[in-house]
Chains A and B, each alone.
Chain A
C-alpha cells in the first residue's frame, strides 16, 4: 500500500500510464471512491477513452480499409495496432504512420498482403493531403532551357509525390471501394503494380506502366534527363524512346508532379524554379 506522502509526481504519472497501457491497477491505491462511484469505474473512463481514441485515429485515416474489413475485423486490427504501437507523436495525425509495416509483419494480416497495401495507399493519400507546398513547373518554365541543355536537366518531384509498388490487386480493390462498388477478389500479381500518389489541389492516385515507373523513379533520384531517355530506350526499345520520355515528362508537368528543374554542369549549376 502506498502511503500518502511517498508518491511523487513522476511515480504517479508512471503508474497512471501503466494503468492505461497494461491494465496495472496499482494507481487505484491513491485514488479514492467518489461520493457516487467506485474508483475502478472512474479509472475506466480514462482506460476506455484511451483505447477508443486510438481506434478513432485509425478509423479517421483508413476509411476504405475499414469498409474492406468491416466493423468488427477493422476494430480488432486497430486494437492490435494500438496495443503494439503506442503513440509517440504529439500530433495524432501521425499515429498511423507505422500501420502498413505492422500489417505487413504481423499475423493474421501478414498473410493477406492486400490489407497492408490498402493501408499503404491510404497512408500515401493522407501524406499527400498535407505534404509541403511547392510551386509546380510549367511547359513555359522548361522552355527557358536551350534544347542542347536538356540532356543535363534534373527534375525535382513535388513534395507530395510518393511511389508504391503493390504485389496484389490492392489498387483495384481501393478503386472499387472508393467508387462504392463490390471489390474484386484478391489476386496476387506476377508483375508489381506501380502506383503514383500526389496532390494536385486534392490527393490523387494513378497507375503507371513499368517503363514510366522506372523513368519516374530514376528522375526522382536525380538522374539527368538525357540518361532517362537512354534508360527508356534500353527498357522499351530504341524506336521512339525520346518521344516516349518526352510524353511522360509532359504528363508529369500537366499533373503538377514536378516542382523544380536543375541544369547540372561541370562549371555551372543553374536552377529554374517555376514562375508564379
Chain B
C-alpha cells in the first residue's frame, strides 16, 4: 500500500541504474560565488543543459570548478521529445558533447514539446495521451538514446489544459513509455500535485501507478495558487501539501535522489539550502520509521 512503510517493493540495485545521489539543488548563476566559497550541505547539482551549450567563458569555467567538487546531473528544456518536428540532430550533438565534457550522472529532459515549424516557444507544452502520441514519443526516445549512447530520464510536466481525445491517463502514458523504451522517470512531485489539482485526479494514485524501478530522481518545487488552477512557477517556497506528497513518494519509491528546483525570484543560497535540508530531514524521518518498523517485525 502507498502509505505503508513497507519498502520491499522499492527499486532494487541494478548495474544500469544511475547512482543514488542524495539531496541536490538546481545550479543557478546567482549562487555561483556562494557555492564556490562555502561548504554547503548539498550533495549534488542539476544544471540546465542549454545554459552551458555555449562556446566558452565563465559559465563553463564555473561549472568545471563545481563539478570537481560535486556530482552533476544535466537537465534540458529543449529536447522537445514529443514534437512532430524532426529531431534536432545539431542540438543532440551539442548535448552529447557537453555530456562528454561534464560526465553527468544522468541526462534528463521533459515529456512535452516546445515548438514546431522551426519555432521554439520556450515552454513545456502539453501532449494528448493518445496511442499515436505514444508511438511517436517511443520512437523518438529510442532514437535519442541511440544518439546519446545512454538511457535518458524524462520528467512529467505541469499542464493547464487537457485534450478531449486523450485515450489514456498521464500515468498510463508514462508507464507505457518507460516499459517500451527503458527510459527513466524524473518524477516532479510538485507537477504531480499541480496536475492532480488542475485535472481532478488523485495525486497518490498517480504515484502508485508509476513503475517504482524506473524513477531515478524527484524534483520538488513551489507553485502559485490562482484559485481555479495552480501554476508551476518555481518562484517560491515548496508548499506544505507538496512536502506531504513528497513524504508519500518516499514511502512508495524508497530512496530517490531529490532536488530542489527554484527558477524565479531566486533567494540567497541559504534559503534554498534550507529546503534541501528539509527534504533530507523528511527522508530521514521516513526511513527511520521504516527501520524501526522492520526491527519490530
- On whether A130 and B55 interact (CB within 8 A), knowing A42-B161, A87-B121, the answer reads yes
Instruction: Encode A30-43 as 1/0 by CB contact (under 8 A) with B.
Output: 11101111010111
A199 within 8 A of partner (CB): yes
C-alpha gap A136/B222 in the complex (Å): 45
A151 within 8 A of partner (CB): no
A144 within 8 A of partner (CB): no
Q: Which of B56, B59, B164 contacts A31 (CB 8 A)?
A: B164
Query: Is B119 a contact partner of A17 (Cβ separation < 8 A)?
Result: yes
**Measured between C-beta atoms, what is the minimum distance from A237 to chain B in Å?**
39
C-alpha gap A215/B153 in the complex (Å): 53
Query: Is B200 a contact partner of A34 (Cβ separation < 8 A)?
Result: yes
- On whether A10 and B55 interact (CB within 8 A), knowing A34-B229, A42-B229, the answer reads no
**Measured between C-beta atoms, what is the minimum distance from B245 to chain A in Å?**
20
Stretch among A47-55, A113-121, A238-246 lining the B interface: A47-55
Query: Is A131 a contact partner of B57 (Cβ separation < 8 A)?
Result: yes
B162 within 8 A of partner (CB): yes
Instruction: Encode B211-244 as 1/0 by CB contact (under 8 A) with A.
Output: 0000000000000000111010000000000000
A139 within 8 A of partner (CB): no
Residues in B whose Cβ lies below 8 Å from that of A39: 161
Instruction: Encode B104-125 as 1/0 by CB contact (under 8 A) with A.
Output: 0000000001111111111101
- On whether A41 and B228 interact (CB within 8 A), knowing A10-B116, A50-B123, A91-B53, the answer reads yes
Chain B residue at smallest Cβ distance from A54 = B122
Query: Is A45 a contact partner of B56 (Cβ separation < 8 A)?
Result: no
- On whether A9 and B127 interact (CB within 8 A), knowing A31-B164, A130-B59, the answer reads yes
Chain B residue at smallest Cβ distance from A129 = B57
Residues in B whose Cβ lies below 8 Å from that of A87: 115, 119-122
A-side interface size class: 35 or more
Chain B residue at smallest Cβ distance from A21 = B119
Query: Is A88 a contact partner of B118 (Cβ separation < 8 A)?
Result: yes
Chain B residue at smallest Cβ distance from A132 = B55
A90 within 8 A of partner (CB): yes
Residues in B whose Cβ lies below 8 Å from that of A269: none
- On whether A88 and B120 interact (CB within 8 A), knowing A31-B163, A131-B56, the answer reads yes
With A53-B122, A132-B56 known, 9 other A-B pairs at CB within 8 A are A20-B121, A31-B162, A41-B228, A45-B229, A53-B123, A54-B122, A92-B50, A130-B55, A133-B57
Q: Which residues of B contact A (CB under 8 A)?
A: 50-51, 53-61, 78, 80, 82-84, 88, 91, 113-123, 125, 127-128, 130, 132-133, 136, 160-165, 198-200, 227-229, 231
Q: What 6 A-B pairs have minimum CB-CB distances, sorted nearest first?
A: A90-B78, A133-B56, A37-B228, A130-B57, A132-B55, A130-B54
Can you pick out 28 interface pairs between chain A and chain B where the beta carbons lie within 8 Å of each other? Answer: A12-B128, A14-B116, A16-B125, A17-B116, A30-B165, A31-B162, A31-B163, A32-B162, A34-B198, A34-B228, A36-B227, A36-B229, A45-B231, A46-B161, A54-B122, A57-B122, A86-B121, A88-B118, A90-B78, A90-B120, A92-B50, A93-B50, A128-B57, A130-B55, A131-B57, A133-B55, A133-B60, A159-B55
